[in-house]
Structure 1
């Protein structure tokens, strides 16, 4: 992620907001009578009240304004922007107006076929009218295609969120994350980027500046340091407002049309992460205020929950995520050409150049024979030559070696040093031992990998073959090898290693919602006045990451739709 220094500086404020605390704040829902509602000394009233000021929440706020309404945004942290402010600011929208400008055709059938294949591979049926998806999932994706492009163009045309097409380092439109699948039809350009004032590509911080300025310039009110703690309903069950905990006491905000939650996931709620996720994680890129508050509040009013076992997976530097669970930037890609990642047995697990969500998923592999996770912590190994190629985790030639990088002159010494490092972390991760056969297997693994590098064909994991591999890795050195993303590891040192752990950009489960972003109850009936968008809800993308900006594309679209629908209510 970008804006690293901003995120580091902002931590104190985020932690103060998080300090309002799950333990110290009673989260839930309260029913009030009409008479009580009239007697309350409301601290604010608007057509739409939004919880959360990330991309999803601010898109809802903009939508309320553009649909003729008033809006109040309540942000738990002392800073606007949530996790979006730390992000790359890309947002993934099918059939968008920038694709049209370049003559790129993106039909609904192509989009739905790809999305179904990737999001729910176990359900995918190519001959089915819904491609095998359940009606609700199909309807959400269908509506995303119909509405996402319209909303993106509206935000661009009105100046609320100027955008451009996200291009690769070689100037080409970005491929989707699983573009090697035949269902993708090699359609490029769905990933958009925030457009800075000078026309260049902006990032998450720029996105938040545009959206928040638009809200405030058009009369919207943004309150920071307000942790939403109670959903307020009337006797009919309609959501009519929110209660927030602040350092100045409890405040209440009335919503005449509806309440929209865009409060993010539960990455930093350890109990939820352990109880819901199938991937063991230590933290991630989400801001520390993402503690699953909505799940606790909505459970009290019979909300249907879904997709709780899924996250936008990512890898983290083990020592960094142990130091602070909300990392400035996760491991988006693994750099170097003469480099490999291995597990505790010294064996490779994946194409090291593939996308972070799928590499992150590898940490969840369970071995029934040994009764543990053999890939739980991984060892990324590279040599001196890889430093010329560069990339994430790879210190450039002549630069200082970061503390998290382990260095040794031989593979034997590197193995010993890696185990020493794991041992030094035992008080925080428990005992983690490399298998006794690690060194022998590592040598065999390197030998096999080096053969692949010479031939250019990785018959184990297809390294360098996926279109997204090239998108994430600029080729800085031409070694005259058939595959620029693989080079043999040296027979002599020095060697380097970095320890990797599983993490998230954020989680992607929560209240289930319909095509209008209305939260539904356990009987699949919409709850009047209650909406959700972004990582606070059950993501339509299911089990996977469709393409770069997939989280923000869905969050912004359904955030906008939520307030748009709310403004039509009596």
Structure 2
């Protein structure tokens, strides 16, 4: 996600942010049979899709492709949700693009990889179920068995034209944990949307194609329609929704089903604090993603899962404090002569590794001090690193960002970094660098520089993961054995950016079955109620399986929910 590729304006962000969850009564209402028949419905269709991002629009496509009439209700005043400002990639096992390229992706390897990284505490390499809970295994099996079919269908119909995502050196993309044995060195699962000219595109191209597809086939999309209540009949079947609109409350009837693809709860501070294990401060999700479905689904007896997890991503601290829905998170820590350190002046990870795993480092807890030692982090780079590009590393010819600290010496840098934390105290509280920060930082840089000279980072394996090479070009290689490391200069200027924990969006909510149906606390489907995407309990558990992991699952199960709903009596 980058501000350059986003089609969602800052004005629209701020306007959508006014849709606070606390201002609206959200829940569910039961209508008797006579009342349902006599209700003056504002519209009646077969299927209602709530939201207009990739998961919701895929649900609309699945319903339309199977003969259903569709209405799409969007809370914000723009179409596309978080998908519209994303890179638009989708992680698709055994995709038709992989098959055409002769890339093997067998089912057992896929399931073993997913189990290993999604639920590492459960993974059992000797078990026929890989140690997984039955529903999660079933969903991952369903994903493998159907994702390629769904994406090929969407590609062929023109609803979502795609291509295989390639790295900077024209190689099929690696998975985010491609270095572990269970991955099987599989490449090519990530797909990208195509733009108007058939070239590799972005999330707004995906939305553009899907929107055109559903509207050309009779679907209506209504923005500024915030769904606030699930409507049921006396049997418990979901028969429609109530929405808050600029014209007042309206009720819409769904003869076959309601599909929620309304996103997660990243922009709901109370839910973030209550549910998430990582201290998330905000993130890329659009302001409308406030967890409305969790409140509604609670009243219809839905079962919930994975509420403690998110699609993690680092964010620039001062940006997320200014506005919790940031234009872009920190996908890359650029430059070769650069490191990230904590308040003790010590490194924590491979700085070139994928964003969700770097973000997870913020949740490390020290039981002795009762604090998070990595809660806020400092990304440090020298002047030479600016020549080698990448996120947060300006070019030589441009001014540094307002969120970047510049100093001529490391002593001055430490003082200025502490001053920046002090200036934020009214929002983050007192946050002090350790008294040994400067001494440790000098030792850390000396140790790192030794790794750069030898090309081997024995602490964190920088540059060794396949995903490192996928995301970071080595074309501007300096004369060092590892193109992703160069020594940090003995002289300034030095630069620093403060980092916090954020998310692309959360990934917990109602549990669903292989048809996309929301299940109750007894694991029985709630008739007429479906969910997909970040509004749901993701079967990917703790992990970000590969580039496009969120949309791959969301689109697949969204489309299948539409198929299933359309087939109902």
Q: What TM-score range do you get, normalising by the shorter chain?
A: over 0.9
Question: How do residues 34-73 of structure 1 correspond to structure 2 at under 5 angstroms?
Answer: 34-73=33-72
Aligned to 1:419: 418
Helix, strand or coil: the match of 2:372? Answer: coil
C-alpha separation between the residues in 2 aligned to 1:250 and 1:450? 63
**Structure 2, unaligned runs of 5 or more:** none
Q: Structure 1 residues 328 and 192, CA, compared in 2 at 3 Å: closer, same or farther?
A: same
Helix, strand or coil: the match of 2:28? Answer: strand
C-alpha separation between the residues in 2 aligned to 1:260 and 1:2? 29
Deviation at 1:300, TM superposition (A): 1.0
Aligned to 2:225: 226
Aligned to 2:129: 130
Helix, strand or coil: the match of 1:231? Answer: strand
Deviation at 1:390, TM superposition (A): 1.3
Question: How do residues 122-521 of structure 1 correspond to structure 2 at under 5 angstroms?
Answer: 122-521=121-520
Question: How do residues 548-567 of structure 1 correspond to structure 2 at under 5 angstroms?
Answer: 548-567=547-566
2:96 is the counterpart of 1:93 = no
Aligned to 2:2: 2
Deviation at 1:247, TM superposition (A): 1.3
C-alpha separation between the residues in 2 aligned to 1:369 and 1:73? 51
Deviation at 1:41, TM superposition (A): 1.1
C-alpha separation between the residues in 1 aligned to 2:254 and 2:475? 54
The alignment yields a C-alpha RMSD, in angstroms, of 1.0
Deviation at 1:128, TM superposition (A): 1.1
Deviation at 1:88, TM superposition (A): 0.2
Query: Is the CA contact 1:130–1:138 (under 8 Å) kept in the aligned structure 2?
Result: yes
Deviation at 1:16, TM superposition (A): 3.4
Deviation at 1:24, TM superposition (A): 2.0
**Structure 1, unaligned runs of 5 or more:** none
Deviation at 1:476, TM superposition (A): 3.8
Deviation at 1:212, TM superposition (A): 0.6
C-alpha separation between the residues in 1 aligned to 2:458 and 2:212? 51
Query: Is the CA contact 1:191–1:548 (under 8 Å) kept in the aligned structure 2?
Result: yes
Deviation at 1:480, TM superposition (A): 2.0
Deviations 1:445-493 (A, max 9, x none): 0011011111111111000000000111112422221110010101111
C-alpha separation between the residues in 2 aligned to 1:151 and 1:6? 26
Structure 2 length normalisation: TM-score?
0.99
Aligned to 1:83: 82
Query: Is the CA contact 1:112–1:142 (under 8 Å) kept in the aligned structure 2?
Result: yes
Deviation at 1:14, TM superposition (A): 4.3
Query: Is the CA contact 2:178–2:466 (under 8 Å) kept in the aligned structure 1?
Result: yes
Query: Is the CA contact 1:4–1:328 (under 8 Å) kept in the aligned structure 2?
Result: no
Deviation at 1:260, TM superposition (A): 0.3
Deviation at 1:19, TM superposition (A): 2.6
C-alpha separation between the residues in 2 aligned to 1:196 and 1:174? 19
Aligned to 1:110: 109
C-alpha separation between the residues in 1 aligned to 2:61 and 2:252? 18
C-alpha separation between the residues in 1 aligned to 2:8 and 2:402? 18
Q: Structure 1 residues 221 and 244, CA, compared in 2 at 3 Å: closer, same or farther?
A: same
Deviation at 1:195, TM superposition (A): 1.2
Deviation at 1:15, TM superposition (A): 3.8
Deviations 1:66-117 (A, max 9, x none): 0011000000000000000010000000000000110001111111011111
C-alpha separation between the residues in 2 aligned to 1:541 and 1:329? 23
Query: Is the CA contact 1:389–1:475 (under 8 Å) kept in the aligned structure 2?
Result: no
Query: Is the CA contact 2:389–2:395 (under 8 Å) kept in the aligned structure 1?
Result: yes
C-alpha separation between the residues in 1 aligned to 2:277 and 2:314? 15
C-alpha separation between the residues in 2 aligned to 1:75 and 1:262? 10
Deviation at 1:17, TM superposition (A): 4.0
Deviation at 1:127, TM superposition (A): 1.8
